[in-house]
Amino acid sequence: MADAQLPDYDTFDFFLHQNDLTCTAAEIHGVICGCLCAGMPYQQAKWRKFISEFVLQDAEVDDRVAEKFREIYQVTYQQLMEPDFSFQIYLPTSEDVPLNEKAQILLEWLAAFISAFGAVVGEQFSAVDKEVREAYQDLISISQMDTEMEETEENLIAFEEVSEYIRMTTLMCFAELGDHNSQQAGGPAKPTLH
């Protein structure tokens, strides 16, 4: 299903703020990716609990917001399952977003990913493939990087390289631990919500 597309970043981010949610679109996506890449079964609804704990400070969400989250979850899973590595980290695509702001949003995504991944994989981490463990440790190191950077060509290239490394590490984690059994011919079944 190569046409699985996340909604426009700014539109979804605005939707969150309209609903008085203090998190960003990147954080929601980061938590979902962390859950899926650490091996949470696709049909399991615990990802909602992690979104609530890690980025919503346990705020209640109404059915409309929950439905939007479910859509993001489904599309993200479909993208991770794509054999062409088309999965992308959910960041603003507008050219006018300053580089240090993009870097800050990338780190918000990464912090959410690391938290959810760690919570889901838990004590099984020591049994995970060594390459995946090392890459995950790299992500933790990257999450400490300074986001104050000038708008130079060099910094832009460095940002793109770091983003690509994070993207490929995400795909590697999903390849190693993700639930590859839920995708049927007609696409994934609807995950249940509790």
Q: In this structure, what DSSP letter does residue 183 have? A: E
From residue 174, give the alpha-carbon distance in Å to each of 56, 129, 179. Answer: 24, 12, 8
The residue ranges of DSSP E strands in 45-160, in sequence order, are none
Which of 18-22, 67-71, 82-86, 190-194 bottoms out in mean pLDDT, i.e. has the lowest?
190-194
Q: What angle do CA 43, 170, 153 make, to 5 degrees?
A: 145
Residues 6+ apart with CB under 8 A from 133: 125, 126
% of the chain exceeding 70 in pLDDT = 92
**Residue 25: count of CB within 10 angstroms of its CB:** 26
Two tokens, residue 140: 């933790």
Residues 6+ apart with CB under 8 A from 136: 114, 117, 125, 128, 169, 173
From residue 149, give the alpha-carbon distance in Å to each of 34, 90, 105, 152. Answer: 27, 21, 13, 8
Two tokens, residue 179: 């639930």
pLDDT digits (tens, 9 = 90+) for 113-144: 999 999 999 988 889 999 999 999 999 999 99
pLDDT of amino acid 183:
55
pLDDT of amino acid 71:
95
